[in-house]
Amino acid sequence: MPFFAIMFLMKIGLIKTTNNGKRAWMLQYQPPGGKRKRLFFKNKEAAETEQARLWKQQNESGAIWVGLSGDERNLMIALLGDARQQGVNLREAFDFFVANRSKANPINYELGESWDAFYAEKKASSLSVKTLYFYKSIIDRFVEGRESVPLVSINRDVCMAWLKRDGWKERTFNNYLTGLKVFFNWCVDVGRLDKSPVEKINKIKERNMADFDTPPKILTVEQCQALLDAAMRTDKGMIPYVALGLFAGLRPEREARMLEWADMVNGFIRVKGPHVKSRKRRYVPINDTLAAWLKMGGDLPVPNKVKRFLDVRLASGIVWKDEEGKLMGWKTERMSDCLRHTFASNFLALYGVEKTIAAMGHVNHDMLFNHYRELVTEADAKRFWAILPPS
């Protein structure tokens, strides 16, 4: 007999009986495909009310069932059987689907559009120019050529293959991984991804790097003199920028490049909070050597700094070009902190740890001892601080 016919013929019997030694009325029936059920009531009126409700429900369900097509009835029967096997009812299954419909049908965001949205939000957050450049230089490279690729298709293998290409060194690997983590974590936070594809990629530990315990490159006294002489010959406007790096140890991008002449106040350099790594304003004393070079005048802030600084280095002989025009010597990427490192080594040799930490700002004892100790002798340091412009 068909399943829907059983629904119409389900008997709902009403029997007078006892329950726990007391007189009662019992409703007895068996739902289609289910177990027999018994309901006990204290009086006949309550039992008949429930019996009438069940008959009405059965009649309404039968009318709906007859209105379904054969395929729809078969689908309902199959779904009901599957739900019972999973230990849920159809109402629970439907409610779960409604609650998770958006996750079941996600928007297919493209990688390029997601990068544009990320950068626009970060730019509107008043981040520093250097931080924005950090994001752009890294994530732009990753996105290039993949602009129309679905964001959800970017997995761990894709990211790892990109991070290990071109023979990038360990520190470059870590920096690029940091940029990717920030971007993909943002995608997770705003609901574009369920999880970051670089979540399980770990940074390379510093002690495992090939250049671990290698001191930073610094300029010799002769190279410092050649650099300043070249600035005087070819571009006097660059003199304060070079001098502030060599004799004050200012960070080249965040501090020295952003300074104005108005920041020279009562024998101190006022480095404003937004330009400092720690975001706290600091004052750097102007020593006699630096004061002598600052009297030569020049450009503060420095327009077109990258090209002009490279031209000065080429004129000094610290950097040169081979027959194919390739830069040799102190290349552009290796000079970013070279002036600051040179200052730290020569200052430490004469004035000790505590004064050097105070002069550099945001530097600790371990960094000084690991990177700057014993790089410069006291005699060479005295020669360095004696570099002065011609009288």
10-residue block means of pLDDT along the chain (391 residues)? 45 84 84 75 88 79 66 78 80 75 66 94 83 88 92 93 78 87 94 92 72 71 96 96 93 84 92 56 90 95 90 92 84 68 89 83 67 77 95 76
Examine the domain organization and report whether 276 and 321 are in the same domain. Answer: yes
Q: How far apart (Å, rounded) are the C-alpha atoms in residues 223 and 225? A: 5
Examine the domain organization and report whether 365 and 290 are in the same domain. Answer: yes
358, part of any domain:
yes
391, part of any domain:
no
Examine the domain organization and report whether 67 and 121 are in the same domain. Answer: no
Contacts of 116 (CB under 8 A, 6+ apart): none
Helix (H) or strand (E) holding 319: strand 319-321
**What is the residue-wise DSSP string for 346-386?**
HHHHHHHHHHHHHHHSS--HHHHHHHTTTSS-HHHHHHHHT
Angle at the Cα of 13 from the Cα atoms of 9 and 15, rounded to 5 degrees: 170
> What pLDDT is attached to residue 6?
41
Q: How far apart (Å, rounded) are the C-alpha atoms in residues 313 and 319? A: 5
144, part of any domain:
yes
216, part of any domain:
no
> What pLDDT is attached to residue 2?
42
Q: Are 308 and 237 in contact (CB under 8 A)?
A: yes
Examine the domain organization and report whether 16 and 87 are in the same domain. Answer: yes
At 181, list the tokens.
Answer: 């983590």
> What pLDDT is attached to residue 139?
93
Boundary of a domain, candidates 177, 208, 239: 208
Examine the domain organization and report whether 146 and 57 are in the same domain. Answer: no
Contacts of 68 (CB under 8 A, 6+ apart): 76
Domain count, the chain: 3
Examine the domain organization and report whether 380 and 284 are in the same domain. Answer: yes
3-class state of residue 264 by DSSP? strand
CB atoms within 10 A of CB 323: 5
- Angstrom distances, CA of residue 65 to CA of 15, 48, 163, 344: 29, 25, 60, 86
Q: How far apart (Å, rounded) are the C-alpha atoms in residues 345 and 372? A: 5
Examine the domain organization and report whether 136 and 263 are in the same domain. Answer: no
Q: pTM for this one?
A: 0.55
Q: What are phi and psi of 38, to 5 degrees?
A: -130, 130
213, part of any domain:
no
Q: Are 65 and 2 in contact (CB under 8 A)?
A: no
Helix (H) or strand (E) holding 77: helix 70-86
> What pLDDT is attached to residue 346?
92
- Is residue 301 reached through a cis peptide bond, with omega within 30 degrees of 0 on the bond before it? yes
Dihedral angle sign, alpha carbons of residues 298, 299, 301, 307: negative
Q: Are 18 and 4 in contact (CB under 8 A)?
A: no
Range of the domain at 279: 221-385
At 116, list the tokens.
Answer: 């544009």
Q: What are phi and psi of 16, to 5 degrees?
A: -85, 130
390, part of any domain:
no
**Which residue, among 4, 5, 7, has the nearest Cα to 55 in the 3D structure?**
7
